[in-house]
Structure 1
Amino acid sequence: MQTRAALAVRVAVPGTAALPPEPLRLSALDAQWVTFPLIQRVFNFVDGAGDIPPFASAVDALRESLAETAARFPPLARRIVHRPATGDAAIDCAGAGSETMAAQVTRLRGRLVLGVAMHHAVADGRSVWRFLEAWAAACCGDADNDAEPPTSDRTAIRLPGGEELARAVLHKYAPDVPMAGGGEADEHVCSSAALCLTAFATRLGKGRRWHWA
């Protein structure tokens, strides 16, 4: 079986994106998912009637619409960091990009395969599908892309114990954080946030793998 290595591509979020100025602390409901397996979805598009565009054109359209959609879903375009000063885990939407989400498009004989992986601490099952729906709408120029994006306000749900409860949950499920160094001197990227889709082993395969810039 012949396999060709995928080309990694960084996708830049538009500078006009409204990113939160401060890191979004993970709530107790979020923190339990820090070390949980990734949410992964694979979509297989069969070119039975010649309705799939050329691979290069499809990649360009997906990449451009991905950047556009990411501007409306900031947590999926950034990183999860550990903050030693407070013991919190947070979503850093203003710092350098990391991989809380990754996507890969692969060309097979007569079909195109799109794989997506997301960190469970930044998206639940419904959020994943809402993101994919918005991405598909942006790629097709659908008006649905103007729909209101989900909120990232962690204060919407108030839990007894607040930040202390979130720290307790984090250290219960991830007692060894930070699990890997990186980022600024006072922050460490959790290793579970470093995502990368496994390359598809395909005959005559050729792919593009995307991360955030």
Structure 2
Amino acid sequence: MEQRSDNSGNKKTINIWKWAFLILAGLIVGAAIWLAVQLQPVSVGEENTAPLVTNDDDLIFEVSTTKADVTRLTNEYLEKELDDQYAGFSFSLEESAELNGEIEVFGFPIQFSLYMTPYVLENGNLQLRGDSINIGSLNLPISFAMSQLSRQVDFPEWIVIDSENQFIIVNLNEFELENGTRFSADRINLEEDDIRLNIHLPVEAIR
């Protein structure tokens, strides 16, 4: 009598490997899409190029300060403004403007140090242009770190992060104290420790 071979076991093995391959391919494609999204530059806010608008009777004072004073004031303000979001972050002015902290990269917390050069813009706002970055043992672009910052930290509306062009803009012309006092930058020279700011004080604030 003729015997017929049973290929059902082979077919099951082939199907298992087929589905395993399809699942693996799907995971690889999904990871590639996720990575592409993470590497896309993300910008928050827009640079305000308008001049600072003040009243004719405002009092204007020029204040000269130091890197140490600006460092302390900036950290105190951001800590109060961002609350728990600023935990683990620190800002300092030395040879450059330096932002240290921790961001998540591919789901893991990574320490970073972002070094920037500050410039005073024509309208008295500030631009911090990214120069270099230390981010663990990874070799990642500055734009990536800025993108992750903009995704993970809710900065005040007057702080702009342009990760594509690798700079942070501080729109001082959008910042105002409760009594109406405004500020504009006049000069920043880190090498000479010479920082000058203009304080625009409305007369109503002293009456």
> What TM-score does the superposition give when structure 1 sets the normalisation length?
0.29
Structure with more of its chain in strand, by fraction: 2
Higher relative CO (Cα under 8 Å, sequence separation at least 6) belongs to 1
Radius of gyration: which is bigger?
Answer: 2
> What TM-score does the superposition give when structure 2 sets the normalisation length?
0.30
